[in-house]
Homo-oligomer: A and B are copies of this chain.
């Protein structure tokens, strides 16, 4: 059996990794694009605070978080330790006490079934600032010990590398699809066809244009996010929790004295790969309002990512009915780094003809 995976972001690299671990022959095509969501995205693994209430989706979100322990252990055993992963906890803060109370209630009701979230507790403004030193002095918070962060760029690279070490082949080229006798056929940029029993399209925001030649109108659009990376030279930041201020802007820190503030959510920009004056100002102003202690931090880069945004928050996962050998994974949106590795495993199971650990039928792609 031979599988072609198109796109080696968090989802595609996980598909490749899980297939290769099972001895399947995999060829991964990863085109150079600017604005890949996985490379830009800040990785927060903390599903328990989300405001989204759909139970099916929440179950998937929580399962994604739960799977991280296994994933990290598996990669570590293969020598892959450079993942930017840390179970550093999450700190939920809010200006409005009622909003914080509501968040606490939401979290408490969920973690009953999620021992991995740890012993969630309310913390005073002083303790919150002790946990995340640049924070304002007046913000109470909720601390979730089981929250964690991961660097999507490193994690995807590690899964791809582990796949290659297990026999997968990685190519940096464009792949086109065409319809041939009721099947999708993959074609290299030199026009030659690629032999495959299964084609897995995990191309994120680029999937729509890849699927169009098959006559499919794939409902995923690019949503631009601008994410600012700061450095606090000499400062030990590795144990700082993820900061969730109950707005669309969040913060998290990495081992190398780096703090990340995210992110704009810009629809209708298409694939316009740019850091804009207003986007940068929005993110900096939001960050400094919550964490004024970042004022003198160094701006080291602003990353641009095109999140694959579908209709609502709903993922697209599974086999395309009406067309043999075509599997799609997409639309994870802002939950991509939490759900991605687990969803990749589910898609690998589908390719191998197994029943996926979580039923993906609610997320089935439209039939061809």
Contact = CB atoms under 8 A, between A and B. Distances in A.
A164 interface: yes
A34 interface: yes
Interface in A256-299: 256-257, 268, 270-278, 280-281, 284-285, 287-288, 294-299
A275 B299 contact: yes
Q: In the complex, which range does the number of interface residues on chain A fall in?
A: 35 or more
Contacts of A272: 32, 171-173
Contact of A238 (B79, B257, B298): B79
Interface of A: 31-32, 34-35, 79, 81-82, 154, 157, 160-162, 164-165, 170-174, 176, 178, 187-191, 208-209, 212-213, 217, 219, 221-222, 228, 230, 233-236, 238-239, 255-257, 268, 270-278, 280-281, 284-285, 287-288, 294-299, 302
A196 B255 CA distance: 32
B32 A32 contact: no
Contacts of A178: 212
A239 B161 CA distance: 13
A281 B292 CA distance: 12
A16 B220 CA distance: 30
Nearest to A233: B170
Leading 5 A-B pairs by shortest Cβ distance: A173-B270, A278-B295, A170-B234, A32-B273, A281-B284
A191 to B, nearest CB: 7
B31 A32 contact: no
Given A161-B257, A190-B221, A212 B176 contact: yes
B221 A189 contact: yes
A298 B274 contact: yes
A273 B299 CA distance: 11
B302 A302 contact: no
B32 A235 contact: no
A280 B278 contact: no
Nearest to A189: B270
A171 B280 contact: no
Given A284-B280, A285-B285, A270 B172 contact: yes
B79 A236 contact: yes
A278 to B, nearest CB: 4
Nearest to A168: B234
B34 A270 contact: no
Nearest to A239: B79
